[in-house]
């Protein structure tokens, strides 16, 4: 990924992060060995950005796709990492071999704890996006929570949802570490005028953007229907990303045939092309049916874009009324009304985008790495994570 040459896109200096935290100052200077599982490859900017900054604070990360890669003959550890850091839980088919593999997976989590290796889980979702067995997936999550030494969430609202979802009362193992911004992760050299020419957009149009994997849980079908009902003559909806499958792609194209002013760009969007869609747009739409945390919101904010989004998950922790049109996800006309309000507020969209960019600048990967390393240290020492000690402090980066 290429760093933007623009000074205005640089992260603030956070070299003093930890200066006010005696636990970080006094910590063991040794390099920690941590396993990320699963690692989804270069296509996941969250993991790569966190790994890069963890290396700067003395954490060596081994990236594995499956938990079984840590074991020889199924039960013997090949090595001894200091910490195993889980990000997403595996999805199993709950019949035949799938049920057996799920039990083996649980046994391996238990073995790690018997070997004395702490488990950390960053809870990105309450359930797999296309879960077919929500009750069993809930049970797997509850087992991991019971085995984990520390739990990471990206906001207070998300923490409350996690605690309610799994009926938890043990607050002290939670650490709130804000999701880092993407200001230095993607090129940003293409102007608005050039981006609009590239996509053949009229300069007078209000351009709404949906960018990323095009999947049902993200509410894309609801977005198409809401945009059809708004139907402003001077607005356009851009949809760019890889559809779930060909059937879902055809469903989108069938709906588009009944709606004017929609552009669909199916397929994976390379890093260098993200700036074209972002800089051509006026506002980013995140019409999720359900959400806990959203890297897409941070990406939009990093490019200085206002958002339309449900007031759900961690989104209220990062978006506010000065930079977003938030709606109640239970309101059947919430998305529709927010799209209308965005069109009516077109003169304020640039200002709202600046507000979002300013907020996003305070959430850096350097902060996230420091707080994550501190959590590793506390779990290795056998102490419970402390909200006061470990929570990333955005005010600190503003004072730097």
259 is a domain residue = yes
346 in the same domain as 227: yes
82 is a domain residue = yes
Torsion of CA 52, 54, 59, 65, to 10 degrees: -60
d(CA 229, CA 224): 9
Report the predicted TM-score, pTM, of the whole model to 2 decimal places: 0.86
- For residue 219, what are the domain limits? 192-360
334 in the same domain as 217: yes
User: Judging by beta carbons within 10 Å of its beta carbon (0-12, 13-18, 19+), is residue 207 exposed, middle or buried?
Assistant: buried
Q: Helix 45-55 and helix 365-381: axis angle, to 10°? A: 70
Q: How many domains does the chain have?
A: 2
Query: Which tokens sit at 168?
Result: 């938890």
322 is a domain residue = yes
Query: Which tokens sit at 57?
Result: 């604070």
How far the first Cα of the chain sits from its last, in Å, is 26
CATH number reported for the structural domain that contains residue 35 in this entry: 3.40.50.2000
Do residues 71 and 109 make contact, with C-beta atoms less than 8 angstroms apart?
no
Closest CA to 182 of 301, 270, 326, 310: 301
d(CA 302, CA 179): 12
Render pLDDT for 126-137 as a digit per residue (tens, 0 to 9): 988 777 778 888
Closest CA to 307 of 258, 352, 269: 352
381 in the same domain as 351: no
d(CA 16, CA 9): 20
d(CA 294, CA 274): 17
353 in the same domain as 269: yes
pLDDT number for residue 399 = 38
119 in the same domain as 153: yes
Query: Which tokens sit at 113?
Result: 């704890």
Query: Which tokens sit at 232?
Result: 């402003």
pLDDT number for residue 29 = 65
187 is a domain residue = no
**DSSP at 21:** -
**DSSP at 63:** E
2 is a domain residue = no
303 in the same domain as 292: yes
Mean pLDDT by 10 residues, the chain (400 residues): 36 36 52 94 86 96 92 79 94 70 89 94 89 84 94 94 88 89 95 97 95 94 94 90 94 89 95 97 96 94 98 95 97 96 96 98 97 96 60 45
221 in the same domain as 90: no
DSSP H/E element including 332: none
**Number of DSSP helices (H) and strands (E) in the chain, helices first:** 16, 14
356 in the same domain as 372: no
207 in the same domain as 130: no
Do residues 131 and 91 make contact, with C-beta atoms less than 8 angstroms apart?
yes
d(CA 171, CA 386): 10
Residues of 311-347 as b/e, b for ≥16 C-beta within 10 angstroms? bbbbbbbbbeeebbbbbebeeeebbbbbbbebbeebe
320 SS3 class? coil
62 SS3 class? strand
167 in the same domain as 297: no
Place of tokens 């045939």: 257
For residue 128, CA distances in Å to 125, 144, 231, 291, 325 come to: 7, 14, 33, 11, 27
The rounded Cα 323 to chain-centroid distance in angstroms is: 18
pLDDT number for residue 172 = 67
d(CA 271, CA 294): 18
1 is a domain residue = no
372 in the same domain as 339: no
260 in the same domain as 203: yes
């Amino acid at each position: 990924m290429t760093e933007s040459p623009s000074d205005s896109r640089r992260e603030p200096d956070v070299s003093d992060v930890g200066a006010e935290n005696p636990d970080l100052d006094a910590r063991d200077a040794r390099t920690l060995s941590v396993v990320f599982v699963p690692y989804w490859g270069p296509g996941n900017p969250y993991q790569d950005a966190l790994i890069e900054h963890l290396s700067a604070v003395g954490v060596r990360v081994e990236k594995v796709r499956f938990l079984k890669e840590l074991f020889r003959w199924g039960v013997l550890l090949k090595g001894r990492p200091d910490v195993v850091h889980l990000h997403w839980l595996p999805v199993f088919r709950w019949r035949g071999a799938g049920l057996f593999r799920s039990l083996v997976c649980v046994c391996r989590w238990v073995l790690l704890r018997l070997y004395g290796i702490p488990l950390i889980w960053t809870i990105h979702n309450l359930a797999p996006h296309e879960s077919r067995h929500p009750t069993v997936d809930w049970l797997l999550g509850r087992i991991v929570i019971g085995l984990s030494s520390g739990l990471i969430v990206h906001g207070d609202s998300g923490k409350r949802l996690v605690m309610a979802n799994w009926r938890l009362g043990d607050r002290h193992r939670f650490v709130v570490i804000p999701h880092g911004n993407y200001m230095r992760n993607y090129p940003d050299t293409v102007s608005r005028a050039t981006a609009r020419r590239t996509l053949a957009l009229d300069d007078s149009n209000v351009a709404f953007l949906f960018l990323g994997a095009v999947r049902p849980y993200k509410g894309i079908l609801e977005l198409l229907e809401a945009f059809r009902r708004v139907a402003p003559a001077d607005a356009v909806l851009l949809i760019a990303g890889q559809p779930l499958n060909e059937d879902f792609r055809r469903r989108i194209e069938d709906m588009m045939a009944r709606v004017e002013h929609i552009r669909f760009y199916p397929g994976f969007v390379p890093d260098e092309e993200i700036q074209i869609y972002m800089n051509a747009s006026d506002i980013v739409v995140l019409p999720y049916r359900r959400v806990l945390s959203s890297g897409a919101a941070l990406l939009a904010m990093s490019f200085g874009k206002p958002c339309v989004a449900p007031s759900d998950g961690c989104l209220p922790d990062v978006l506010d009324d000065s930079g977003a049109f938030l709606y109640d996800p239970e309101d059947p006309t919430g998305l529709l009304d927010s799209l209308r309000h965005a069109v009516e507020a077109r003169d304020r969209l640039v200002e709202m985008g600046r507000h979002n960019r300013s907020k996003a600048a305070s959430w850096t990967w350097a902060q996230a790495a420091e707080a994550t390393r501190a959590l590793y240290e506390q779990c290795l020492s056998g102490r419970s994570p402390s909200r006061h000690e470990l929570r990333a402090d955005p005010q600190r980066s503003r004072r730097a």
